[in-house]
Structure 1
Amino acid sequence: MNKTLNELRVEIDTLDKQIQSLIGKRAELAAAVAEVKRTTNDKGGFYRPEREAQVLRAIIGRNDNLLKGTDMAHIFREIMSACLALEQKIKVAYLGPKGTYTQEATLKHFGHAVSTLDCSSIDEIFHEVEKGNANYGVVPIENSSNGVIGATVDMLYSQNLKVCGEVEISVRHQLMMADQSQEIKVIYAHQQALDQCRRWLNDNYPHAELQAVASNAFAAKFIKDEPNAAAIASEVALGLYGLERVAKNIEDKTGNTTRFLVLGKEEVPVSGKDKTSILIVAKHEAGALLDLLSPLKEQGINILQLAHHPIPNAKWEYMFLVDVEGHQQEESVEKALAQIAKKAIKINILGSYPVTVL
């Protein structure tokens, strides 16, 4: 006999109470872990990226119900975020204002219980973490359509922060304005967003003036009181600033994704599925890069990314951003990096960290 709607709701209410009780018990255990760390003067830190990655992978691996594994992991991501806040409140610097993709990446990686600090530039994010005003920072490193973010690479080259995580965000641009009954005469957005929507804008608003600003979220915030103005920004910014959608998903290429790095001051232990990022300055001679990377081939290490970028204040000189599979503490990676260091003018091991789970 099929259950009535009321009977099903009673069962759901009963389960909700049990789930709530179990989450409460998990929180008590998290608080107990924090106390043990304090009393034993544990130096491992409260936020453990490798441990969280292992937990999330296990959740996805054992999931066998109607919910997708990633959806279940997102739920646990928020539970862990709230429990971590009981141990120690984490502050994360991101590229503001509210409503940017960088903020979205921050909350996706750390959960909504984290404390955030919005910054006006990538440089400022690095400086806030370096000064200790934020525990971590989140910065964009590459976009699937536009390549590496030069400002981030420059700061990685000149600063000493460690990469301790990564997160990816799907980029879906929305065209919005305060009153869509008005004619659009000017469109504001970050230059990268304008480039990613160039063909669509030419087809639909060929006569509109395109104005580049510091961020898409700033554009959305700015046009709230600006007549005949539109902005390209995220779905989050659309609701955050109370604007009206003019057009949905206007990016020229579907599947556009931005990858972000999480920056901190501590090395991350092995998680079991890691990658290592390095910056290399090669000798300016024929075959130097090929010779430089040969130890990776010899050790059977896969190169995940290889991008070149001009060295600041050095004309026609380049550094190479390289991501490889594995952790720098693994024997094969350690041997390869040691050999590269002997051949390179400069090598900076940015950090080893878990491959993004969500």
Structure 2
Amino acid sequence: MGKEKGGLDNLRHRIDAIDDDILSLLNERAKIVIEVGKTKEGDRQEFYVPSREMAIYQRLTAKNPGPFPSEAIRRVFREIISASLALEHPMKVAFLGPQATFTHAAALQQFGLSAQLVAQKSIPAVFDEVLRGRCHYGVVPVENSTEGVVSHTLDMFMDSDLQINAEVLLEISHDLLSLSGDLDRVRKVVSHPQALAQCRQWLEDNLPDIPLVDVGSTALAAQMVAEDDSAAAIASEMAASLYGLRVAKKKIEDNPNNYTRFLVIGTKRPARSGQDKTSIMFSVKDEPGILYRMLEPFSTRKINLSKIESRPLKKKAWEYIFFLDIEGHLEDDRVKEAVEDLRQYCQFLKVLGSYPRIR
């Protein structure tokens, strides 16, 4: 027994020595980061560069020999980079709140725990905080793989000059939460309309006669349920922890392959990373063959369109705004040429951003 304990103590001492080395290297890295911040400030460069972060994650993941899991590398270095950015320049980020929404989780995934995350009550409020310079960046949802686009976000780009700086893809898993954790005591279910829609079949099969109540966010639903023992909320595991709720049933979403895409918005356009996406919005003149001519500039240059979406133009009946996601950066010659060719058919055209794409 003593021999076994001696062996364990030896292993722990080796771990302690490695941890000491990691700590020393983190501080050495931090000193260099401070110098980087001074250089950026002198050259008036952006402190937050999404393409640089992505390159770090990809390089380290590719070099990882194991057994440390590759999927954990991004999480570990996300916090190292977050703390480093805080040393360079304190980062303030607005997000669609309250705390424990999926947008909050997306903001944490993108900016880490060292950023100052500021909850907002609406998508327009997120845009406004960034536009007025009270926050450096904002995070808003734009589409879900099951329920489609978030129309409020697309509508905001029509009148805003803010640029998309990055995209975040978050796997969405819904839990049914209540004070008791007892499914039999549930008399109503509260959540955001999209969360209710994503769990529609489960609710019909398991709580067929229980009324469903729409609220502004999954986190707000959790807040309400924390004060009502007869109600249950569809929300995240983070919400359960934050608001003192128990899980009545985990993972009740109908489609297990359920993702939401979020956008990081800012005032400037990021530089080219080599693996970029460009988003544009435009309206076209109503004339025969216009949809074909709209796509032709991209087809002839073999540019992939990863998304096409349309929204009614509120100022005129039966006219539409189109949103395109194009593979490539606006600084790429063929992308720039294609957009300029498209412009001749448009009543108006706006570039929403060129930014690193998630693969």
Q: Which residue of 220, 223, 230 maps to 1:221? A: 223
Q: In structure 1, the residue corresponding to 2:264 is in which secondary structure? A: strand
Q: Which stretch has the larger CA shift, 139-148 or 44-53? A: 44-53
1:283 positional shift: 2.1
Equivalent residue in structure 1 for 2:237, among 235, 238, 243: 235
Counterpart pick for 2:21 among 14, 18, 23: 18
TM-score by length of 2: 0.96
Deviation at 1:353, TM superposition (A): 0.4
11, 14, 33: which one pairs with 1:8?
11
- Report the Cα distance in structure 2 between the residues aligned to 1:211 and 1:32, rounded to whole angstroms: 53
Give % identity.
39
Which residue of 312, 315, 323 maps to 2:314? 312
Question: 1:271-350 to 2 correspondence within 5 Å?
Answer: 271-350=273-352
1:37 positional shift: 2.9
Mapping for residues 19-58 of structure 1, pairs under 5 Å: 19-38=22-41, 40=42, 42-58=43-59
Matched to 2:299, the amino acid is K
1:245-260 residue pairs with structure 2 within 5 A?
245-260=247-262
Establish whether residue 64 from structure 1 lines up as the match of residue 65 from structure 2: yes
Deviations 1:3-55 (A, max 9, x none): 922222111111110011101110111111112233x3x22121112221222
CA distance in 2, matches of 1:282, 1:71: 46
SS where residue 4 of structure 1 aligns? helix
- Cα separation, 2, equivalents of 1:300 and 1:62: 33
Tell me the equivalent position of 1:89: 90
2:26 is matched by which residue type in structure 1? I
Q: Is the 8 A contact 1:100 1:217 kept in 2?
A: yes
Q: Report the alpha carbon displacement of residue 67 of structure 1 after superposing the two structures with TM.
A: 2.3
Question: 2:134 — aligned with what?
Answer: 133
Matched residues, number: 354
C-alpha separation in 2, matches of 1:261 and 1:37:
25
Asked if the contact 1:311–1:318 (Cα under 8 Å) also holds between the matched residues in 2, the reply is: yes
- Aligned mates of 2:145, 2:291 — CA distance in 1: 24
Equivalent residue of 1:339, what SS? helix
Equivalent in the alignment of 1:113: 114
SS at match of 1:188: strand
CA distance in 1, matches of 2:44, 2:346: 33
Structure 2 distance, partners of 1:333, 1:192, is 34
Counterpart of 2:201 in structure 1 is 199
Aligned partner of residue 353 in structure 1, secondary structure: strand
- In terms of mean alpha carbon deviation, does 139-148 or 336-345 score higher? 336-345
Q: Give the distance between the partners of 1:207 and 1:283, measured in 2 at CA.
A: 49
Q: Distance between the aligned counterparts of 2:319 and 2:110, measured in 1? A: 35
Distance 1:53 1:180 in 2: 40
Return 5+ residue gaps in structure 1 as ranges: none
- Find the counterpart in structure 1 of residue 159 from structure 2: 158
Give secondary structure in 2 for the equivalent of 1:166. Answer: strand
Give me the CA root mean square deviation. 1.4
- AA aligned to 1:344 is C
Once the two structures are superposed, what CA deviation does each residue of 1:54-106 show, in whole Å capped at 9, x if it has no partner?
Answer: 22221122222212323112211110110110111111100111100000000
